[in-house]
């Protein structure tokens, strides 16, 4: 019984450490937008960067969208997180970038 508990504890610790490397950011989406091939409703999301992919998680920690992203580093830190949106033909809005507040990271979503 002790071995089983020890194995479960170690497994949980390893799983936690594997996810610890992915930093998450809070992003507020002001209106319905398309990001990648998915549509995000207005609301608050947690966004996790995984290599060259941005993963948006809803309030239930379920994946709401996943999109390829280019990450650049600016010379100064952004004061606040700002979502940049472009109006497409047909009045649909597409997320084109995010400036991450408190960091020098600028995210650009290619078309």
Confidence class for position 90, pLDDT limits 50, 70, 90: confident
CB 45 within 8 A of CB 98: no
Q: What is the model's pLDDT at position 8?
A: 40
Question: CA nearest 40: which of 26, 28, 23?
Answer: 28
Least confident range of 17-26, 67-76, 79-88, 91-100: 17-26
Q: What is the model's pLDDT at position 6?
A: 42
pTM: 0.76
Taking residues 85-108, report their average pLDDT. Answer: 91
Q: Which residues pair with 82 in a beta bridge?
A: 99
Taking residues 37-59, report their average pLDDT. Answer: 95
Question: CA nearest 31: which of 99, 103, 91, 109?
Answer: 91
Q: In this structure, what is the dihedral angle of CA atoms 95, 100, 104, 105, given to the nearest 10 degrees? A: -40
Q: Where are the domains of the chain?
A: 22-108
């Amino acid at each position: 019984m002790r071995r089983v508990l020890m194995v479960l504890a170690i497994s949980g610790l390893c799983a936690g450490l594997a996810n610890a490397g992915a930093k998450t950011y809070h992003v507020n989406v002001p209106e319905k937008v398309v990001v990648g091939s998915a549509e995000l409703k207005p609301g608050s999301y947690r966004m996790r960067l995984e290599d060259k992919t941005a993963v948006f998680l809803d309030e239930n920690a379920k994946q709401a969208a996943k999109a390829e992203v280019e990450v650049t580093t600016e010379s100064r830190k952004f004061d606040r997180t700002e979502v940049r949106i472009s109006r497409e033909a047909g009045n649909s809005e597409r997320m084109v970038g995010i400036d991450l507040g408190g960091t020098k990271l600028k995210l650009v979503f290619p078309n």
